[in-house]
Structure 1
Amino acid sequence: MNAVALHAQSHGTGAPVLLAHAIAYDHRMWTPMLEHFGSQRQAILADLRGHGQSPVPPGPYSLEAMADDCAALLDRFGHARADFVGLSLGGMVGQAFALRHPDRVNRLVLSNTSSSYGPQGRGLWEARKKLVRESGMASLHDLMVSRNFSESFRLEHPEKIAVAMKPLTATSVEGYVGCCDAIAELDYTASLPRIRARTLVIAGSLDPGTPVAMAEILAAGIPDAKLAVIDGAAHLSAYEKPVEYAALVGRFLDTPES
């Protein structure tokens, strides 16, 4: 499968950081966090294939192909290497990128993600595919809101949630289904020890979709990985807790090699 020319926005100057979003979102998911991230790095915000303004090739997709898309994006920006920050689906692509392109990743941040959904994973994502094919993307709205944002955030910031959810109905069914196919194949747990990049794993204490236990498996499997848990955050931690998320990632990227 040929790499897709991803749409991306670039903010700031300096060392490149590629940021990859969750399924059914796009580069705008990072907007609140970016306000606290500073401008001393070049933040490259990608729309993954099937999302935002990126192409929607025929499915099924694979995490490996999506990692190749990211490598091609770095080529386009003229970067041999970059830090990689991925959340949820973006974190799965980040694992694929670190395994498939080890010489192109400096530091790796895997947040609100997993290396496997276990035996039930395929059935879960097949059910999601069936739902959107029969009822459209809007049918996911309530489920995503309840899983991606904590109860307190939902009550206190309905306007922020409305903004966050705008990409949902703009995501094509074909793009979403293709990514469901990729996630259904997620099985990197046994490969985690091969990840050489210095890694930070971030979890949300209230995340029901990729709970802390999944983050602990990632942190235990990747050599010398660090784990940080953002208290009070659900699945979309970078959006719900942007100050805390930006501080964690910034400190991690700035810490000298020991």
Structure 2
Amino acid sequence: METVELNGIVEGMGDGLVLLHPIGLDHSFWGALPAMLRQDRRVLRLDLRGHGASPMGSARAPIEAYAADVEAAIRRFDMGKPTVLGLSFGGMIAQTLALEHPDSVSGLIACGCPGGIPEEARPVLRERGLAAERGGMEAIVPMTIERWFTPAFVGNPVVGRVRERLASDRVEAWSDGWHAISNFYALPRLGTLKVPSLIVSGEKDAATTPAAAAALAAAIPGAKFASLPDAPHMMQLETSGLFIETVSNFLAGKA
């Protein structure tokens, strides 16, 4: 499987933690989380293939290829066997990484994501990519912002940054990502995972329902489940403090 050399930034010292961002964003959309965790961890923030400063692959790829990119980056950045934290698309990639490359992962934190996409939902998700192919990235920004944030937060400057990031994305990368998401279905295999796992759900997540996140947690042996009050899909930005507390407690063995 062809891998892409991902752009990444490493900060801090200690046990390894890898951050995998949502579709359409990049390594810089984690709020205050990296600054907090790098005090006692070695944190690697990656740009997924086709995102940020990472190149595209030569062809549309399945989610397993995105996971293989991350596995190669873990080795290239000498991260050892890190905990991998992914949000939305990043959370699906993190699950896939833990399944396909179990020797590369010591813990899993999957946020705002399901364990698989039902057959009936797949055309809707592919359409999010195809809409950008037809109308450009500007065509998908309003509906994406509506899905990702609560109405009370959309005036925040960080949402402006998200809008700019989405508008400047490569259409091909956006569409490729949604096609990969549409075919994601890890649920039947999640029972084989043997690493400490935390599933984080936003109570007001309009993209991944709390029920879908709870089903993901139930499929992983021993997984812990956290539902964040008032948190939307982009919980790491809108409810940053609560998100950091939840992740930090899990990493410290308190959750």
Q: Aligning the two structures, in what range does the TM-score lie when normalised by the shorter sequence?
A: over 0.9
Q: Is the 8 A contact 1:36 1:242 kept in 2?
A: no
Partner of 1:187: 185
Contact 1:59 1:174 survives alignment (8 Å)? no
Q: Does 1:227 align with 2:230?
A: no
Alpha-carbon spacing, 1:80–1:37, altered in 2? closer, same or farther (3 Å): closer
Q: Deviations over 1:82-109 (max 9, x none)?
A: 1100000000000100001111111110
The higher-RCO structure (CA 8 Å, 6+ apart) is: 1
Please say if residues 86 and 92 of structure 2, whose CA atoms lie closer than 8 Å, have aligned partners that are also in contact: yes
**Cα 1:65/1:222, change in 2 over 3 Å:** same
Question: 1:203: how far off?
Answer: 0.3
Aligned to 1:170: 168
1:40-61 C-alpha deviation (Å, 9 max, x unpaired): 1111100000101001123321
Q: Which letter maps to 1:142?
A: P
Please, which moves more after superposition, 12-21 or 167-176? 167-176
Q: Distance in 2 between matches of 1:44 and 1:185?
A: 27
Letter in 1 for 2:20: A
Q: Which residue of 2 aligns with 1:104?
A: 104
CA distance in 1, matches of 2:89, 2:64: 12
Q: Aligned-residue CA RMSD in angstroms? A: 1.5
Residue identity matched to 1:66: Y
| Deviation for aligned residue 1:121 | 2.4
> How far did residue 256 of structure 1 move?
7.7
The residue correspondences of 1:191-206 to structure 2 (distance < 5 A) are 191-206=189-204
Query: Cα distance, 1:129 vs. partner?
Result: 2.2
Distance of 1:173 and 1:160 partners within structure 2: 22
Matched positions, count: 255
Matched with 1:81 is 81
2:209 to 199, 208, 211: 211
Residue identity matched to 1:17: L
Q: 1:28 to 1:218 in 2, by over 3 A?
A: same
Query: Contact 1:196/1:223 (CA < 8 Å) preserved in 2?
Result: yes
Cα contact 1:63–1:96 (8 A) shared by 2: yes
Aligned to 2:240: 242
- Structure 2 gaps, min length 5: none
Gaps of 5+ in 1: none
CA contact (8 A) 1:91 1:109 kept: yes
- Hey, what does 1:67 align to over in structure 2? 67
Answer yes or no: is the 8 Å Cα contact 1:98–1:196 preserved in 2.
no
Q: CA separation in 2, counterparts of 1:151 and 1:256?
A: 33
Large movers: runs of 4+ above 3 Å? 35-38
TM (norm. structure 2) is 0.95
* Residue aligning to 2:32: 32
Equivalent AA in structure 1 for residue 144 of structure 2: M
Which residue of structure 2 lines up, in the alignment, with residue 42 of structure 1? 42
In 2, Cα distance between the equivalents of 1:61 and 1:19? 21
What do residues 1-31 of structure 1 show as CA deviations (whole Å, max 9, x unaligned)? 2211000111222111000000011111113
